[in-house]
Amino acid sequence: MIWTILLFLLILSVLVLGHEWGHYFAAKRMGMKVDEFGLGFPPRIWAWKRKDGMEVSLNMIPLGGFVKIKGESGDDDVAATDSFASKSIPRRFVVLVAGVVMNLVMAWLIFTVGFWVGIPAVTDTAPSDSSIAGGEFTVTNEGVTIFDVMKDSPGAQAGMEVGDMVTSIDNVVYTDSEAARLALAPGTTHHVVLARGSKEVDVDVTASLIESLGHEAIGIELLKTGTVHFPWYQAPWRGMKQTVESTGAILAALGGLVVNIFSHKSVGAAVSGPVGIAIVTGQVAKMGFAHVLQFAAMLSLNLAVLNVLPIPALDGGRVGFLFIEAIRRKKASVKFESTVHGIGFALLMLLVVFVTFKDILGLVR
């Protein structure tokens, strides 16, 4: 468990560091002074002051980071030429969106590396499947993989886990997911050999009635998967395509979540906090390095989408104030904007606490 937490914190720290470096780089290019570059949120653990006056700090809460730019919060001399507040709206806009841009770029780079060294893909319909169609590619490590295990199902009770590769069923090797599903037919106990990382796991499983399905089943989803490799000269384009498609999928899922909220449907299962993400990190780590790359890229895209939302305290909320300023041709008062962002940050922290509590309850149950 400790290694899972450390891996989660490492991935999150790298992605946040990249996001905040985007703000830092843009601010310096726009002629603004950066007072502090912080990894994590206060209270502060350690700080180092550079020759240019900027402090680099390490903080106790490892779930984010920040760049403090002179004049951004309105508590500095806004008339100073190196102040955020003294710059034009376009320059401030560039600084505010730079973090989101960096997360998109990082996702593209990770996907690019993934497609070059090998990235997991569903190959049931290859080569026509749009995720890998077109261009030159090779597929290795093909096999039947468990993609979902229903809670309290016979599969879950037998010890089957997401990411397990089915080596054999009743001493017969299957390379097609549909044939493997038919082989696990109800009426008998099946001996299944699974590959879980470098380990081999033997389980005996018998289908039983699953009320939500209305029939007897093992309660697992099987898909044919493989590791897809593209030549280095095609990997950047594939990485860009995957970045665009994945961002669209995240936005569509977010839209569905908003619709469910306003239609009074349950959204609890669709939202996870730090604990839930850490659990997923552990599951992904068991599946191998290629899956960790894919997960890191998706997490980077989620951070980009989250930060671009027009929510106070986030980058999108600050951009919203810029648009209002451009329309009114007058800045909002420092006190009002600070209050709005303060309330927004407090509500976000409450949401994190609530979702984390939900994740912990899910572990206990």
Per-chain mean pLDDT for the chain: 83
Spatial contact of 148 and 162, defined as CB atoms under 8 Å apart: yes
Q: How far is CA 143 from the centre of its chain?
A: 26
Burial class (CB in 10 A: 0-12, 13-18, 19+), 9: middle
Domains of the chain (ranges; CATH) run: 2-115+297-364 (no CATH), 138-229 (2.30.42.10)
Predicted pLDDT of residue 5: 77
* Cα–Cα distance measured from residue 328 to residue 254, given in angstroms and rounded to the nearest whole number: 30
State pTM to two decimals: 0.77
Query: What Å distances lie between residue 48 and 121, 185, 238, CA to CA?
Result: 44, 64, 41
Query: What Å distances lie between residue 72 and 24, 148, 319, CA to CA?
Result: 13, 46, 12
The beta-strand segments (E) located in 278-357 are none
Express each pLDDT in 16-44 by its tens digit. 889 999 999 999 999 999 999 988 888 99
Find residue 229's DSSP bridge partners: 138
What mean pLDDT comes out for the span 90-106?
A: 96
Spatial contact of 146 and 163, defined as CB atoms under 8 Å apart: yes
Express each pLDDT in 104-156 by its tens digit. 999 999 999 988 888 777 776 544 443 454 556 777 778 899 988 998 899 99
Predicted pLDDT of residue 363: 54
* Among 77, 81, 78, 42, CA closest to 59: 42
Spatial contact of 59 and 41, defined as CB atoms under 8 Å apart: yes
Q: How confident is the model at residue 300 (pLDDT cuts 50, 70, 90)?
A: very high
Predicted pLDDT of residue 99: 94
